[in-house]
């Protein structure tokens, strides 16, 4: 090709590029590592924890969040043993759920009994976060209940800080109820110091409560270190479904991950109605692995 033809061709290419639609050359981000909250497969874990963990690793998951800590053990294994077993499968456990202990007052390793034991075990198991999973109905009858809870959460977070891990709070939809102009979730954000508590935002429950997760990220940037990635189906019931099969706009939410301060996210499906839980976990994994945002 001579110089004249080269210049003509280069000019044509440049002109062609100038009329391409906006965004034609835009690069997209993709998810690289995925986690799963083991509550999704809780029944299966109760029967064969090691077998289920291997299945999850085979699907492609990189890390897990526990939902089975009790009396110093994770699914029947001591913290170091559980950590070693995860490592043998190429898995890690950066986060785990804990309980207040209200429903099981004699159980050790809860917010109300031998809390430091739970924190020490979490650190030994390799967790970076220890997250309060749920409030039973009697614990959340009034705004004053949440005010008392905020005091407990500050103290719980201080103990976690001593062990080099972060305390966190996982929401459902009831934290967004209105109590005479006050919203429990907003109260917890205000009354619990950020240094003592990060937030694990459950995208399904926040959306079901009529809240926009991205608004919360912008109001408290950097505080949402953990997410539960859970989808909502298109029925009037707005039931749980596999990630990508429902109505939540995950690409838009993931574009705000830097604002949120997200470090880890976990696929979760409270109830799997259309498929066995491990199959649902695989469907969600495949969607997220292929998602561009």
Global confidence as pTM:
0.91
pLDDT given for residue 232 in this prediction:
99
pLDDT given for residue 139 in this prediction:
98
pLDDT given for residue 73 in this prediction:
98
DSSP line for 30-99? B----EEEGGGGHHHHHHHHHHHHHHHHHHT--EEEES-EETTEETTB-HHHHHHHHHHTT-EEEEEEE-
Mean pLDDT in residue range 36-59: 99
pLDDT at residue 262 tops 50: yes
pLDDT at residue 3 tops 80: no
Q: Which one is predicted more confidently, 17 or 131?
A: 131
Structure tokens at 97: 């759920």
pLDDT given for residue 27 in this prediction:
73
pLDDT at residue 202 tops 80: yes
pLDDT at residue 43 tops 50: yes
Mean pLDDT in residue range 248-252: 99
pLDDT given for residue 4 in this prediction:
47
Largest CA distance in the chain: 87
Instruction: Output the average pLDDT for the chain.
Output: 94
Cα–Cα distance, 161 to 165 (Å, whole number): 6
Q: Which domains does the chain have, with CATH numbers?
A: 28-290 (3.20.20.150)
**pLDDT tens digits, residue range 206-219?**
999 999 999 999 99
For 249, residues 6+ apart whose C-beta sits below 8 A from its C-beta are none
pLDDT given for residue 227 in this prediction:
99
Residues comprising the chain, all counted: 293
pLDDT given for residue 26 in this prediction:
67
């Amino acid at each position: 090709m001579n110089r004249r033809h080269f210049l003509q061709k280069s000019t044509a290419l440049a002109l062609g590029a100038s009329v391409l639609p906006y965004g034609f050359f835009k690069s997209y981000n993709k998810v690289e590592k995925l986690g799963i909250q083991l509550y999704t497969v809780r029944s299966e874990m109760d029967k064969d924890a090691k077998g289920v963990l291997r299945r999850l690793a085979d699907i492609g998951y990189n890390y897990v969040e526990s939902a089975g800590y009790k009396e110093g053990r994770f699914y029947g294994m001591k913290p170091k043993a559980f950590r070693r077993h995860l490592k043998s499968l190429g898995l890690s456990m950066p986060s785990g759920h804990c309980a207040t202990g209200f429903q099981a007052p004699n159980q050790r390793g809860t917010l109300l009994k031998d809390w430091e034991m739970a924190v020490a075990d979490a650190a030994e198991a390799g967790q970076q976060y220890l997250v309060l999973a749920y409030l039973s109905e009697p614990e959340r009858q009034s705004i004053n209940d949440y005010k008392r809870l905020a005091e407990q959460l500050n103290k719980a977070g201080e103990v976690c800080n001593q062990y080099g891990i972060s305390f966190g709070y996982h929401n459902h939809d009831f934290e967004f109820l209105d109590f005479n102009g006050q919203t429990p979730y907003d109260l917890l954000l205000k009354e619990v110091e950020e240094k003592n508590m990060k937030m694990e935002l459950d995208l399904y429950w926040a959306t079901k409560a009529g809240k926009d997760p991205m608004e919360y990220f912008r109001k408290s940037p950097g505080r949402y270190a953990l997410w539960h990635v859970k989808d909502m189906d298109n029925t009037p019931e707005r039931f749980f479904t596999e990630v990508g099969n429902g109505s939540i706009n995950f690409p838009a939410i993931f574009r705000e991950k830097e604002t949120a301060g997200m470090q880890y996210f976990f696929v979760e499906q409270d109830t799997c109605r259309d498929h066995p839980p491990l199959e649902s976990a695989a469907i969600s994994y495949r969607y997220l692995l292929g998602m561009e945002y």
